[in-house]
Amino acid sequence: MALIDKYVPAFSFNERHAVLVDAPGDKVLDAILGFRPEDDPFFRAMIVLRELPMRTARVFGGDGQVSPKVFGIDDFTLLEHDDREVVFGLVGQFWRPDFGLARIPDGAAFAAFQRAGYVKLALNFATDAQSDGRIRLTTETRAFCPDRSARLKLLPYWYAVRPFSGLIRRRILAGLKRRSETAGATAPA
* Cα-to-chain-centroid distance, residue 11: 15
| Cα gap 189→87, rounded to integer Å | 30
Contact 128, 84 (CB under 8 A): yes
| Cα gap 100→108, rounded to integer Å | 20
| Cα gap 124→6, rounded to integer Å | 12
List pLDDT tens digits, range 36-65. Answer: 666 666 555 655 555 555 555 555 565 545
Residue 105: C-alpha distances to residues 75, 80, 145, 186 (Å): 11, 12, 20, 36
Contact 126, 88 (CB under 8 A): no
pTM above 0.75, yes or no: yes
Contact 59, 66 (CB under 8 A): yes
> Which of left, alpha, beta for 133 (phi over 0: left; psi -120 to 50: alpha)?
left
List pLDDT tens digits, range 52-99. Answer: 555 555 555 655 454 544 556 678 999 999 999 999 999 999 888 778
| Cα gap 50→47, rounded to integer Å | 5
